[in-house]
Chains A and B, each alone.
Chain A
Amino acid sequence: MSMRHRRHAGAKVATGLVLTLFFLPVLWLILTSFRPNIEINTRPPVWLSRNLNFDSYLALLGFGVNPERFAFGENVPFGAYLRNSLVTALFATAFALVLGTLAAYAFSSFKFRGRNGLFLTLMLLRAIPGIALSLPLFFLFTRLGLTDTLLGLILAYTALNVPFTAWLMAGFIGEIPESLNDAALIDGCSKWTAFLRVELPLVGPGLAASGIFAFLTSWNEFAVASVISRTTAAKTFPVGLFDFTGEFVSDWRGMCAMSVLMLIPAVIFVLIVQRQLLRGLTLGAVKG
């Protein structure tokens, strides 16, 4: 028994060490957002700052700050980035959930020719690197007047998220016992009404899990956004981070502050649906 205790103590120490390593960059990001730039760029390094303040956040959010103490923050259109990021991510997530769930229902509940091939094709379309898609998409969107518009980004991100949503949702729908569905069919429901009334209400957790994935993917996407968006009309947070980098000097703390603000919605959403997220990903593996 004592052997076992010792072994598990070792596991605990290892866990602690590894988690510290993984958490350090997060901590560093948060800390840096409160430190004056002069401390960040100095040597010998200042580890324990006595000058922690909210200047970078105040500047980003549009409150006046002593200009001597600040670099670019006040000129960064934070509000526009927030609007663009939220609108594109939320609409793309909603559309991806609708289109993906419909497709998932087809894959999980019907037998038709080319089903497996179609599913795999969908996954392979998802695997196409954003950087490879961005060039032809730019030409297409320029023709259609969709460059630098939120609609363009929403279309692109919906397409980016449909395959993975379909994959996750097919797992969730497939998990519903067939007897439930059969009962509805015997009661005279058509397959479609049975889906709406019986199956859809049961896959709420699946929608939550797929939704968070779609949201995170859209919220954090860079390769396509950097090519398609040019101005504050469509630039999202990931593209906006470049506002803090100059040719000779970078406002590192300002960038950290915007990064922290950008992380907040992601963290909240993930915390809420953590359990469903895990279940969605491991469905089919657990079921033996």
Chain B
Amino acid sequence: MQANVIQPVRRRRLSSKVLEERRLPVLLLLPAAALMAFVVVFPMLYSLYLSFTNFTLVSQSSIRFVGLHNYQTLFRDPVFLAALWRTVLYITITVNLELVLGLLIANAMSHVMRGQGILRTILMMPMMFAPILVGFQFKWIFNDQVGLLNNLLFEVFRRPVIIPWLIHKPLGFITIVVAEIWMSTPFMVIIFLAGILSISPDIMDASEVDGATEWQKFFHVTLPSLSPFMYIALAVRSLDVAKAYDLVSIMTGGGPAHRTELIWTYVHRLAFTSQNFALGASMSYITVLIAVAFTLYLFQQLIKARKVRGL
């Protein structure tokens, strides 16, 4: 008897819960989705359309659909192909060096017991620098006439040393690598340090009792425990891989003679300097493809790493 009275009520409450369960997530996601659609998705679709036209500053009145012509032009352009290759090289070199340096520095820092908080704060300074400011800063450090580096060399050799860091062929590339590493390594260190500190001291003690050397401990205990932290650091890093544009555009502008041209500086050259909007749009789609591929790969690895740890 009692059950009969209660049941209809319970069913009604359940169905309103189910309704909430279905409707609420849509309502929650709607504002974010609407904004992203307006500010990112719609402009990028317009950009995709532009990349199939001949839209330039001069051709504004007679926009024609030209199919894949812009992309064909790009893939026949030796400057673009060199920039593409250089960008892949740049991402590979900087990200790997940042990862290795980050691991080494975090490992060393984890042994410093006193004042770790202050050290960490000092290390976080580059994270607060605007990338554009990093660019200006390193442009002056590497300045051939009055730069910090050449000034130091002057003191060492007691005569003017004028090394054209930013202009010389391999050196120019090295300087933008150095600046990127200065800007992004601290972030890796901070994450890895948190990871190392989260490793249970029991495991470390046990390996010590077993007579493991410092290197063995690093490779067999620290490194495996850090893998999810590495993927988090890389995934966050992948979202901002194009931040290097700010820095390179200031330091070398991709020049001289395209020696340090990356795909991002080339977008700027085509779209804004030459005002060939259509070609600029197709070029920017290539930067999007690279960023998406890079991010997709790292997020997949992140999910895998989490699954391994049962998260």
List A residues at the B interface (Cβ < 8 Å): 7-8, 11-12, 14-15, 18-19, 22-23, 25-26, 28-29, 40-45, 47, 98-100, 102-103, 105-106, 110, 112, 118, 120, 122-133, 135-137, 139-140, 155-156, 158-159, 162-164, 166, 190-192, 216, 219-223, 227, 237-238, 241, 252, 255, 259, 262-263, 266-267, 270-271, 274, 278, 281-282, 284-288
Q: Looking across the interface, which residue of chain A has its beta carbon closest to that of B285?
A: A132
Residues in A whose Cβ lies below 8 Å from that of B132:
220, 222, 238, 241
Q: Are A166 and B123 in contact (CB under 8 A)?
A: no
CB of B181, distance to nearest CB on chain A (Å): 10
What are 26 sample pairs from A and B whose C-beta atoms fall under 8 A apart? A12-B111, A12-B112, A28-B137, A41-B145, A43-B146, A99-B31, A99-B32, A110-B24, A128-B40, A129-B241, A132-B287, A133-B40, A135-B271, A135-B284, A155-B39, A156-B39, A159-B36, A166-B32, A190-B20, A220-B131, A222-B246, A223-B245, A252-B140, A259-B137, A282-B194, A288-B309
Q: Looking across the interface, which residue of chain A has its beta carbon closest to that of B16?
A: A190
Q: Are A40 and B146 in contact (CB under 8 A)?
A: yes
Q: Which of B42-50, B70-78, B90-98, B169-177 contacts A (4 or more CB under 8 A)?
A: B42-50
Residues in A whose Cβ lies below 8 Å from that of B194:
278, 281-282, 286
From DSSP, what is the main secondary structure of chain B's interface residues?
helix
Mark out the residues of chain B between 8 and 39 whose CB falls within 8 Å of any chain A CB in the assembled complex.
17, 20-22, 24-26, 28-29, 31-33, 35-36, 38-39
Q: Given contacts A25-B138, A223-B246, is CB(A139)–CB(B111) below 8 Å?
A: no
From DSSP, what is the main secondary structure of chain A's interface residues?
helix
Q: How far is the CA of A126 from the CA of B298 in the complex (A)?
A: 14
Q: Looking across the interface, which residue of chain B has its beta carbon closest to that of A282?
A: B194
From B35, B186, B229, contact of A285 by CB (8 A)? B229
Q: Are A191 and B24 in contact (CB under 8 A)?
A: yes
CB of A223, distance to nearest CB on chain B (Å): 6
Q: How far is the CA of A284 from the CA of B148 in the complex (A)?
A: 43
Q: Are B43 and A219 in contact (CB under 8 A)?
A: no
Interface flags for B115-130 (1: CB within 8 Å of A; 0: not) read: 0000111111111111
Other than A14-B108, A159-B36, A288-B309, give 4 A-B pairs with Cβ distance below 8 A. Answer: A15-B105, A106-B28, A158-B39, A288-B310
CB of A218, distance to nearest CB on chain B (Å): 11
Q: Are B35 and A155 in contact (CB under 8 A)?
A: yes
Q: How far is the CA of A123 from the CA of B302 in the complex (A)?
A: 13
Q: Are A281 and B109 in contact (CB under 8 A)?
A: no
Q: How far is the CA of A287 from the CA of B228 in the complex (A)?
A: 11
Q: Given contacts A14-B108, A102-B29, A286-B198, is CB(A128)–CB(B44) below 8 Å?
A: yes
Q: How far is the CA of A140 from the CA of B43 in the complex (A)?
A: 7
Residues in B whose Cβ lies below 8 Å from that of A263:
128-129
Residues in B whose Cβ lies below 8 Å from that of A237:
130
From B126, B160, B241, contact of A22 by CB (8 A)? B126
From A156, A219, A282, contact of B232 by CB (8 A)? A282
List the 4 closest A-B pairs by CB distance, nearest first: A129-B242, A220-B130, A132-B284, A136-B43
Q: Given contacts A43-B154, A263-B129, A285-B229, is CB(A22)–CB(B182) below 8 Å?
A: yes
Residues in A whose Cβ lies below 8 Å from that of B291:
127-129
CB of B285, distance to nearest CB on chain A (Å): 7
From A137, A222, A284, contact of B130 by CB (8 A)? A222
The verdict on B239 contacting chain A, using a C-beta distance below 8 Å, is yes
Residues in A whose Cβ lies below 8 Å from that of B130:
219-222, 237-238, 262
CB of A81, distance to nearest CB on chain B (Å): 12
Residues in A whose Cβ lies below 8 Å from that of B288:
128-129, 132
Q: Looking across the interface, which residue of chain A has its beta carbon closest to that of B265?
A: A131
Q: Given contacts A127-B292, A129-B242, is CB(A11)–CB(B112) below 8 Å?
A: yes
Q: How far is the CA of A225 from the CA of B134 in the complex (A)?
A: 17
Q: Are A127 and B294 in contact (CB under 8 A)?
A: yes
Q: Are B214 and A7 in contact (CB under 8 A)?
A: yes
Q: Are A110 and B21 in contact (CB under 8 A)?
A: yes
Q: Are A127 and B31 in contact (CB under 8 A)?
A: no
Residues in A whose Cβ lies below 8 Å from that of B155:
45, 47
Q: Are A129 and B264 in contact (CB under 8 A)?
A: yes
Residues in B whose Cβ lies below 8 Å from that of A102:
28-29, 31-32
Q: Are A19 and B190 in contact (CB under 8 A)?
A: no
Q: How far is the CA of A129 from the CA of B264 in the complex (A)?
A: 8
Residues in B whose Cβ lies below 8 Å from that of A136:
43-44, 46-47, 50, 281
CB of B102, distance to nearest CB on chain A (Å): 11
